[in-house]
Amino acid sequence: MKRVMIVIIVFSLLLPTVLTGCGQRVGSNGVVNVHNWGEYIDESIFRIFERETGIRVNYSTFETNEALYALMRRGGANIDVIIPSDYMIARMIEEDMLEELDFSNIPNFELIDPRYKGLAYDPDNRFSVAYMTGTVGIIYNSSFITDDITSWNALFDERYAGQILMFDNPRDAFGITLKYLGYSLNTVNEDEIHEAFDLLVRQKPILQAYVMDQIFDKLEGGEAWIGPYYAGDFLAMLENNPDLRFARPTEGTNFFVDAMCIPKDAANKTNAEVFINFMTRTDIAMMNMAYIFYASANQEAAAMFAAEISAEEYAVMFASSEVIANSEVYSHLPRHILELYDRLWVELKR
Amino acid sequence: MKPKYLSIPYIVWMGIFVVAPIIFVVFYAFTTSEGVPTLQNFAAMGRFTSVFVRSFWLALISTVLCILIGYPVAYILSREGLRLQRLMIMLIVLPMWMNFLLRTYAWMSILENTGLLNRFLSFIGLPTVNIINTPTAVVIGMVYNFLPFMILPIYSVIVKIDRSLFEAAQDLGANTVSVFRNVVFPMSLPGVLSGIMMVFVPAVSTFVITQLLGGGMVMMLGDLIEMQFLGTAYNPQLGSAIALVMMLIVIAFMYVVNRFGQGEEKAVGA
């Protein structure tokens, strides 16, 4: 039902453009190569963009920040717009892999919530325009778990043995374990990381599996009871299983920002900026939000979306300022810490 | 005499897609990220012993199971009528038209605790089984995915064996069992050998199956190598070193298997 409402609203927003019908021929103004997370955009916006600007969109997807990084390091990928997460943007800036943006081509930047400008990963906000934000939390099935979940402790609770899922990547798995222990998820203190590792080793026997996107099927179908994942994905799961609940642990969690950037030496830099500007527009942000249920960084769209979903759902999707204050954004860690993560991860899965 | 220039496209292809990548792997394996020569990448290899052992062990089990299932299928198939043979081959190949990931994902929903298999078992009143997220599930996934690569080479060898050889053996007093043991099996060995190669090698380096069916609880070599390229630390040098060691062990293994096979064929010839 809410999707129908959103479609109607978006359509009324689009109506002026549709009626004036600025019918540019697709491709007459070149192309823009967009590389994004899988299932992280409403692909029907490409047609609108092509009609309005005459720029053709070549779209492809990646699965993890690290896969994107590896692709760019190999070179020759021919990409104009990428949408990595905070810590990866910091790494790419540090390694001189991003192009500075010309904000005169991105006037819609002023629509971005000031809380998502100039964050630690891009302090002067020269390289990125925030796209979507979100938090990590615990998703659980209330028909199996009747307790109120408030702590990461639940993922280490033996009463749920065999029904617990865990992140299948070292950064997130260590991150929430560090949070549970009361440490920073960006710690470079190796003792704290080893302490988290010991806890992960103790957790393993009561786990059902380490998962990434398989968590959708396993939680929706009742195969598992509880697991950590992203707030936006919880709302997608909720549509298939109304018994699911979302909890943000009181110890704090990871708050993330995925932002649009242009790789160094992109062939179509101006088109890329036109595309980023388009993505930041309120009607387009609405469409993307309605499709993926992550919180848009566009302040106006965020406010409008409140009318479309329940207050509880809104609270899950949009982290309040208190939640953000209690959360941490991943930062780019020094190489020896990343290698320690990898080494311990292999040991965990020996 | 065939004109040599016809082989040029093949040589170019092999150069780009087979030789060049191997050169890259060797180069990376012996250098640091700055390109300085080093043996450092191999020094860490001992840490991964358990991953190596597990990968080769599970690949071996899968290969043996593929032979045990695939050989009878290929043999029976080769003795059927041509029309049925074509149909069956088609059915064996058919699943391969579907994406590997999708097929493995389907096995996830079959083997899960609340999956099709367990729902069926409890429906007919039998106790349920816990297969998903164990090495057993990984082996099932590998056998399922690689079985056609065992059946097809064995089948194509057996089907080409001249039928009159069987008749000759029978004329000389051999019963069905000894026709099979002394004629069919030795002559089909080349097919078995290439089947082993086509199953064992991808099974050793498999990943994804461990993640989907094994629940990510343990790593195999494929996961370990993937992690060096797509993981947090981005260490293609270490990844290449692991890949190189794996390739060397596989080559040694294939050498032994081939020697064994040749010995068998010679014994038959003598």
Distance of CA A217 to the CA centre of its chain: 19
Query: Which contiguous run of DSSP H or E holds residue A115?
Result: none
Q: How close is the nearest chain B Cα to the Cα of A206, in Å?
A: 11
Contacts for B249 with CB less than 8 Å, ≥ 6 apart: B52, B56
Residue numbers in A near B112 (CB within 8 A): 218, 221, 223
Structural contact between residues A302 and A132, judged by C-beta atoms closer than 8 angstroms: no
Residue-averaged pLDDT of chain B = 91
Domain at A134-254+326-348, CATH from 3.90.650.10, 3.40.50.300, 2.120.10.30, 3.40.190.10: 3.40.190.10
* Res B176: pLDDT: 87
The domain ranges of chain A are 2-128+261-319, 134-254+326-348
Measured over the CA atoms of residue B104, residue B107, residue B113 and residue B114, the dihedral's sign is positive
The domain ranges of chain B are 49-269
* Res A217: pLDDT: 94
Six token digits for residue A10: 């978006």
Structural contact between residues A109 and A281, judged by C-beta atoms closer than 8 angstroms: no
Q: How close is the nearest chain A Cα to the Cα of B48, in Å?
A: 8
Chain A to chain B Cβ contacts (< 8 Å): 81
- Using alpha carbons only, what angle is made at residue B77 by residues B74 and B79, rounded to the nearest 5 degrees? 115
DSSP state of B29: H
Residue numbers in B near A204 (CB within 8 A): 217
- Comparing CB atoms, the residue among B47, B219, B232 nearest residue A171 is B232
Six token digits for residue A52: 């309005």
Q: How much helix, strand and coil, in percent to the nearest 5, is found in chain B?
A: 80, 0, 20
Query: Same fold for the domain at A2-128+261-319 and the one at A134-254+326-348?
Result: yes
* Res B269: pLDDT: 45
Six token digits for residue B170: 């029978």
Distance of CA A34 to the CA centre of its chain: 16
Q: Is B114 on the interface with A (CB under 8 A)?
A: yes
Q: How close is the nearest chain B Cα to the Cα of A343, in Å?
A: 9
Q: Is the pLDDT of residue B77 over 90?
A: yes
| Distance, CA of B99 to CA of B253 (rounded, Å) | 29
Task: Please report, as a single letter, which amino acid is at residue B210.
Answer: T
Q: How confident is the model at residue B268 (pLDDT cuts 50, 70, 90)?
A: low
Q: Is A213 on the interface with B (CB under 8 A)?
A: no
Structural contact between residues B86 and B92, judged by C-beta atoms closer than 8 angstroms: no
Quickly tell me which residue has 């990125």 as its tokens: A128
| Per-position pLDDT tens, chain A of length 350 | 455 555 555 555 555 454 444 556 777 889 999 999 999 999 999 999 999 999 999 999 998 999 999 999 988 789 999 999 999 999 999 999 999 999 999 999 999 999 999 999 999 999 999 999 999 999 999 999 999 999 999 999 999 999 999 999 999 999 999 999 999 999 999 999 999 999 999 999 999 999 999 999 999 999 999 999 999 999 999 999 999 999 999 999 999 999 999 999 999 999 999 999 999 999 999 999 999 999 999 999 999 999 999 999 999 999 999 999 999 999 999 999 999 999 999 999 98
- Comparing CA positions, the residue from A295, A283, A147 lying closest to residue A226 is A147
Burial bucket for residue A69 (CB in 10 Å: 0-12, 13-18, 19+): buried
Quickly tell me which residue has 């149909």 as its tokens: B87
Q: How confident is the model at residue B258 (pLDDT cuts 50, 70, 90)?
A: confident
DSSP strand E in chain A: where?
31-37, 56-62, 81-82, 129-141, 164-167, 207-211, 226-230, 244-247, 255-260, 295-296
* Res A19: pLDDT: 47
- Comparing CA positions, the residue from B259, B261, B263, B268 lying closest to residue B193 is B261
Residue-by-residue DSSP string for B120-146: HHHHTTPPP---TTSHHHHHHHHHHHH
CATH of domain A2-128+261-319: 3.40.190.10
Contacts for B109 with CB less than 8 Å, ≥ 6 apart: A217, B115, B116
* Res A57: pLDDT: 96
Terminal C-alpha separation, chain A: 47
Q: Is A255 on the interface with B (CB under 8 A)?
A: no
Terminal C-alpha separation, chain B: 33
CATH match of B49-269 with 1.10.3720.10: yes
pLDDT in tens, B120-169: 999 999 999 999 999 999 999 999 999 999 999 999 999 999 889 988 99
* Res B265: pLDDT: 60
Residues B109-126, mean pLDDT to the nearest whole number: 94
* Res A20: pLDDT: 47
Quickly tell me which residue has 């053996």 as its tokens: B169
Residue-by-residue DSSP string for A275-295: HHHHHHSHHHHHHHHHHH-PE
DSSP state of B33: T
The answer to whether the CB atoms of A214 and B51 lie below 8 A apart is no
Structural contact between residues A79 and A263, judged by C-beta atoms closer than 8 angstroms: yes
Structural contact between residues A333 and A189, judged by C-beta atoms closer than 8 angstroms: no
Q: Is B201 on the interface with A (CB under 8 A)?
A: no
